[in-house]
Structure formats: structure tokens, C-alpha cells
Chains A and B, each alone.
Chain A
Amino acid sequence: MDLNFTPEEQAFREEVRAFLQSDLPDDIRAKMKGGKRLVKDDYFRWHQALSKRGWLATNWPKEYGGPGWTPVQKHIFDEECYSAGGPRILPFGVNMVAPVIMKFGSQEQKDYYLPRILNLTDWWCQGYSEPGAGSDLASLRCSAVRDGDHYIVNGQKTWTTLGQYADHIFCLVRTDPDAAKPQQGISFLLIDMKTPGITVRPIILLDGEHEVNEVWFDDVKVPAENIVGEENKGWTYAKYLLTHERTGIANVGASKAAMLHLKAIARDQMKNGRPLIEDPLFRNRLAKVEIDLMALEMTNLRVLAEVQSGGAPGLESSILKIRGTEIRQELTDLARRALGPYALPFQSEALDGGFNGEPVGPDYAAPKAQQYFNMRKLSIYGGSNEIQKNIIAKAGLGL
């Protein structure tokens, strides 16, 4: 047993660091470090830099233009990106719809869509959840009725993350309302957002930000060749997507960066004339979450090693999702609490890149309460943590 990275992996880490040093634009790095708001152009330029280097689609096989990295290399890459202040790679195109197209799509779909994802021509968003179908996704009702060479889509999708930037949406739609089980009448459909009849409306979240949307479909005509795989088999493809590439799910890199930032705040904030980090109660809260993060990192590395040697993670994926999100939430909770009263001021304009007004309180204070409230989403999305526990109970413990 050896917890150290191999010399090759260390060299790879250096290569990633050098790339981040030279190719991550400074203004984006500064925004990330300062907790500022990112706009579409920030994501675009960062993705472009990665695409140019051939590192955008880190999970893709080489034949489709991926870098052919091992799970450990991907982990190192994620960790270094977060540490340097690189924004997350938006998953909807490269890591969500692409693997489904690769696995189940037609040759035409592969030839058309995959290069456009890789060169950033198309921006994708995800059309899964509906107002009546959250954790119980299979109860979705958005319908697609075959009419000659087209499907006519009617219904509503919601929680569409960054749908306002997207020009394509991959949707789960109901093609057989009379199927014996709700899972059996669902299809996986690729839709151009410019098609007439589609309306995107912003949903403002509790942190005041426009991150998600609702998308309405009103007699939207979608070419029949845009269906992925077979009609009524969409649930199988969606499940494949859920199990595909879950090793990044623990988000260890993001939490490690957040831990360092939190400690810096605790050194700067004062309590009774001493740095907050010396306060016995707060320092023990910090120690507890840091220990939990070390355990999470080890669990994650163990799963990566298992995947690297050909294994498939089982209940571990759900464990990593649950603990990874709990720990990240705990870190944002402590950052908010570290600020004391200065967590209260809500200066939304201070989060814009060009803001040059007077900050209220310490310059790191403005986004902290917002981030705390935003991160409550982690235990709800991607299969809520309660759903993950159901999965472990059933598949892992046989209960």
C-alpha cells in the first residue's frame, strides 16, 4: 500500500500547474478567488483554453478527442484546477449528453454533435426535472407525440441550470403514456432551443442569483432523427448517465480549496482580541470538518484506485455524494459563521467583476452568506441525499 502519487503522476501535476499558470485568464482566476459572479463569457474563455489544450473532455475516450487520462490523472487535474481558481467545467455537454450519444447515439449524431461540443459551438443544458417530477423523476409528463418526421413536444422542464446560456437541451420526454410502468414510456430527445415554441424563464434562487430556469414547450416540432437510441428506452440511457463517471462526485478538490480559504478567514477574523482560529470552539469545528475531509479524500482515492484497476464503484458513489456534499455544506456554513455580523450585508453588485465601489466589511465577506444558501442545493440535486440512502439501503445492504 502506498499513498504517494507515482513520479509520472507528480510530473502530470506539474504539467497541469504550468498550464493553469499560463492559460487560465487572470481576471477569471481573480473572480473565482474573490467569489465573484461568473458570466457566460468567463465560462466560454476558460472552456476555450481547455479545448485548445485538448483537456476539455477529460472523461472522453481518445478516439473521440479525450486526453485518455486515468481516473487518478482526472482527480489531480480537478484538484489543481480548483486550487488555481479555475471554474468548474460545465458538465451538461461534455459529461452528460456526450457519453449518452457515444454509447447509444447514431453515427450521424456522433459525427454531428460531439465535435460541436468539443469546439464549443453548442452549449447544452439538461431537461430532466419537472414541477411534478423531482426525486421521482420517472413520473415526468412532458410529452413527445410522433407526427410524421417529427415529434411534437408539449410540457415543462424546470431547474434548468444555465439554460439561459444554452442553445441545445437534452430532454427526457414521455412517448408512451400507456406503458405498464412509468419508466417504460420515456425517450431521450435532443432539442435545438431556437425551435419555435420554446420559452425560457428565469427562476431566482434564495441567494438572489439567476442560475436556473424553467423551460416551456408549446407544440415544439423536433425532427424524429433527434431521438437518441430507441423510443421508450430513455430511462435506461438516463440511468447510464447517472452511473457514468461518478468519481468526481465527491468534489474533493473544491472542498480542499474551500478549507484553505476558510482557515485564511479564521486567521483574519478576531474574537476577544485573538484570531478566531485560536478560539477553542471554532478551532474544533474546523478540525472536525478537516478530519472528515481527509477521510473523504481517502475514500475517494480508494474508489479511484478501484476504478483504475477495472472495478466499478457501487454503493461508494452514493457514499461519496452524500459525504462530499455534507462536507462542502459544512465548509460554507463555517465560512458564513466566521464572518459574524458581516455575513448579513447583501451587496449583490459587489459580486460583479467590474465592481469598484466601497466593500461592506472585509473584502472576502460579500459572497459568503450567498454561497452558504446556494450550496444547500448540493444535498437536493443529482439524486437527493435521501434518495442516495435509499440506493445504498437497497443495492448496498440488501434492505
Chain B
Amino acid sequence: MDFSLSEEQRMLKDTVERLVRETYDFEKRQKIADSEEGFSREVWGQLAELGLLGVPFPEDFGGLGGGGIDLMIVGEAMGQGLVVEPYLATVVLGGGLVELLGSDTQKEEILGAVVGGEKLLAFAHGEPDSRYETAHVRATAEKVGGGWKLTGRKSVVLNGGEADTLIVSARVSGAHDDEDGIGLFLVGKDAANLKLHSTPAIDGTRVAEIALDGVEIAEDAVLGTPGACFHAIEEVLARAVILLSGEAVGAMNMAVDTTVEYLKTRKQFGKALSQFQVLQHRAVEMRIALEEARSLAILAAARLGEPRDVRELAVSAAKSGIGRHARFVGEQAVQLHGGIGMTWEVPVAHYTKRLVMLDHLFGDTDHHQERFATLSDAAA
């Protein structure tokens, strides 16, 4: 058993944390989140320059060949700075699908451009009534002539509006919730018969609603084998959960530290808030929640390369447990800050929003607790 980071991982951690600490302060983050595009091309360029956009990809395609721990490290730094750049959508989800399913040509072209910071991707998978079910796909892909025609709706697509290319899931066979029968298709943002409505999300990120009304694409825009994409989707979502777990830990850490500092400085009834035992104990409970979240993040990250049943049990444990702990820390951070914690101007409010909204991505606490129960039964 070994919990230490490798030399490469330590360097990765230093690099990404330094970037966030030195160039991504709260004011800058707020400006970026409020900007036209909702993220910074300059920051994206820096991420590319430092090699960070290639963390999970094999070295053959310009990547760093990183695994779960590396994703957790990147996520933690991003959580510390509440980074809004489309790393999850482009690198982890989009890039991950291309890496797992793409032809050599697709990998070379697309991953090369992703790593270089020249191409943004988004994974258009969720649908209006899919909630958190990974296999739920009602959008259809129909074989027409030398290509495919896509019809359906995709909802709350992370950074869909910013992407150059969307990776759209659509059904080629089976019932709407079958694992078999799901295909993935590369769709340009300017494709005909595609309607996209981008909105800000409450945590400073961006999401889009997408309508595909007979979008025609060529055969070479197919990713993987149509109908056999479920397992790659599940694996990429596991990576996404690991990145988000790291992000939650990073943001929780900031929320706890900020709150503890605030308790030491704010005075009421003639003494510092830190003198009140009821508040001390609440801060301690936040600190404990952070430690538990960190343990679960490490568990999921370290299990990424294991067989599916082991990996997914850890993923659901992490997503459920961290969802619960993150919400607790977020809510208590606001509570212990009192009125000022309710305002837009203080960082803690924005950490809290991210910590709570993380639970709405890729399955919430309840969803993964239920899924964990099923996976745990199967393992017994």
C-alpha cells in the first residue's frame, strides 16, 4: 500500500496548483465567468502550454498518460480556484471518448487539436427525461445514404455552446434504456438542422440545450461502433466523477480554510466567533467531512484502472459520499459566515454554489447511493 505521489504526479500537482494560485484569483475568475464566452482563451492557452490538456491521453497522442490520481490532482487544483474553463467537457468527456473509441485518424486529428488547445469538445448525452441514467438515450441515429441522420433533444450539455465539435449519443437499436444500441457521432457546431441554446449555470459554468432535427453527418463522423458505445461512456463518466471528486475536495478545502479564518477574525458579543464552542464544533465537523471526501476521492481515483465492478463501486461510493459531504461543507460555510456569506461578493458563496451543484452532475447522492447498493449486492 502506498499513498505517495510519483515524481511525475508531484510535478503535475505543483504545475497546476501554481497556475491556479498565481494567475487565477477570485476577481479574475469572476470576470472570466461573466465574459462573453464564459471562459478565458488565454487561460486555455496556458493550460495547453503546460501540457495539462493532455493529462489523461497516451503519450502517442501528445498526452501525459495520466490515470485516475492525475485527474484527481488536476481536479483538486481547479476546485481551489473554481476554474470555469471547459476542461471536463473537452478533455475528460470529449477527449476521453475519442481516445477510447476513435479510429487512429480521429485520435490523431482530434486529440492532437485538443491537447494543443485548438479544439473544444462537448459530450451531448443527457436528455430531458434521462435524469442520471447513463443508458437512457431516446435520440435516434438513422442510416441514410452514405451517412447518418440524428434526431432528438439533448439537455444540460456542459459547454455545448463553446464546443467546436459535439459528440452526440443516439440510439441505433433497442429500447430507450438499453445499454446496447447506443452510438456516438461527431457533429460540427454549425451543422444544419441543429439548434443550440446556451445558458449560464448557477455555479459559473455554461450549459446548453440542443435540438437535433434531422442532422445529417457523414460516415467518417461515426465514433466507435454504432450500438456498442455504452461501456466507453461509462468509463469516461468514471473519469469525470474522479475529476469532480478532486474538484470537490479542492473547493471544500478552501471553504473550510476560509471559514476557520473568518471565525478567528469576526467578533460578536465582544469576542471572536472562534471562542464559541458550538461554532468550533461545526468547523470541526466540516474538517471531518473534508477528510472523508478526500479518502473517497483517492479510493475512486486509485480504482480507475481496476475491473468494471471494482471501479464502479468506488465511483458510486465517491460520488454519493462526496455529494453529501460537499453539500454539508458548503451550507455550513455560508451559515458560519452569517449574512456576508449570502452575498455575491465573497468567494465562499461561490465555493458553496459549486459544491452543491457538483451533485447535479453525473448522478447525485441518492442516485449513486442506490447504485452503490445494487453494485454492493452483486459483489457479495
- Cβ-defined contact, A284 with B1, below 8 A: no
Which residues on the A side are within 8 Å of B1 (C-beta)?
A: 2-6, 9, 72, 301, 304-305
A284 to B371, CA, bound (A): 10
- Cβ-defined contact, B284 with A397, below 8 A: yes
CB closest residue in chain B, given A2: B2
Which residues on the B side are within 8 Å of A306 (C-beta)?
A: 3
- Cβ-defined contact, B373 with A286, below 8 A: yes
- Cβ-defined contact, B320 with A1, below 8 A: no
Main secondary structure of the interface of A (DSSP, over half): helix
Is residue A257 contacting chain B, with contact meaning CB distance below 8 A? no
Interface size class of chain A, counting residues whose CB lies under 8 Å from the partner chain? 35 or more
- Which residues in chain B, 257-306, are within 8 Å of chain A measured between CB atoms? 260, 263-264, 274, 277, 280-281, 283-285, 287-288, 291-293, 295-296, 298-299, 301-303
- Cβ-defined contact, A323 with B274, below 8 A: no
Which residues on the A side are within 8 Å of B366 (C-beta)?
A: 284
Q: With a 10 A CB-CB cut-off, give which of A288, A290, A295 has the most chain B CB atoms.
A: A295
Q: How far is the CB of A383 from chain B (nearest CB, A)?
A: 14
Among A72, A277, A287, A386, the residue within 8 A (CB) of B372 is A287
Is residue B69 contacting chain A, with contact meaning CB distance below 8 A? yes
Is residue A203 contacting chain B, with contact meaning CB distance below 8 A? no
Which residues on the A side are within 8 Å of B218 (C-beta)?
A: none
Among B2, B283, B291, the residue within 8 A (CB) of A319 is B291
Q: With a 10 A CB-CB cut-off, give which of A4, A291, A304, A309 has the most chain B CB atoms.
A: A291
Which residues on the B side are within 8 Å of A302 (C-beta)?
A: 3, 295, 298
Is residue A283 contacting chain B, with contact meaning CB distance below 8 A? yes
Flag A351-390 by CB within 8 Å of B: 1 or 0 each.
0000000000000000000000000000000000010011
Which residues on the A side are within 8 Å of B158 (C-beta)?
A: none
Which residues on the B side are within 8 Å of A301 (C-beta)?
A: 1, 3
Q: With a 10 A CB-CB cut-off, give which of B1, B277, B283, B299 has the most chain A CB atoms.
A: B1
A323 to B284, CA, bound (A): 12
- Cβ-defined contact, B302 with A3, below 8 A: yes
Which residues on the B side are within 8 Å of A2 (C-beta)?
A: 1-2, 302
- Cβ-defined contact, B320 with A287, below 8 A: yes
- Cβ-defined contact, B291 with A283, below 8 A: no
CB closest residue in chain B, given A293: B317
Interface size class of chain B, counting residues whose CB lies under 8 Å from the partner chain? 35 or more
Is residue A393 contacting chain B, with contact meaning CB distance below 8 A? yes
- Cβ-defined contact, A287 with B376, below 8 A: yes
Which residues on the A side are within 8 Å of B299 (C-beta)?
A: 3, 294-295, 298
Is residue B370 contacting chain A, with contact meaning CB distance below 8 A? yes
Among B285, B298, B320, the residue within 8 A (CB) of A298 is B298
- Cβ-defined contact, A399 with B260, below 8 A: yes
Is residue B380 contacting chain A, with contact meaning CB distance below 8 A? yes
- Cβ-defined contact, A292 with B2, below 8 A: no
Which residues on the A side are within 8 Å of B9 (C-beta)?
A: 1
Is residue B5 contacting chain A, with contact meaning CB distance below 8 A? yes
Is residue B250 contacting chain A, with contact meaning CB distance below 8 A? no
- Cβ-defined contact, A323 with B320, below 8 A: no
Is residue B369 contacting chain A, with contact meaning CB distance below 8 A? yes
CB closest residue in chain A, given B285: A389
Among A305, A389, A397, the residue within 8 A (CB) of B260 is A397
Which residues on the A side are within 8 Å of B274 (C-beta)?
A: 399
Flag A260-297 by CB within 8 Å of B: 1 or 0 each.
00010000000000000100100110111011101110
A72 to B1, CA, bound (A): 9
Q: How far is the CB of B355 from chain A (nearest CB, A)?
A: 17
Among B4, B321, B373, the residue within 8 A (CB) of A283 is B373
Q: What is A's interface to B at a CB cutoff of 8 Å?
A: 1-6, 9, 72, 263, 277, 280, 283-284, 286-288, 290-292, 294-296, 298-299, 301-302, 304-306, 309, 315-316, 319, 322-323, 386, 389-390, 392-393, 396-399
Q: What is B's interface to A at a CB cutoff of 8 Å?
A: 1-6, 9, 69, 260, 263-264, 274, 277, 280-281, 283-285, 287-288, 291-293, 295-296, 298-299, 301-303, 314, 317, 320-321, 366, 369-370, 372-373, 376-377, 380
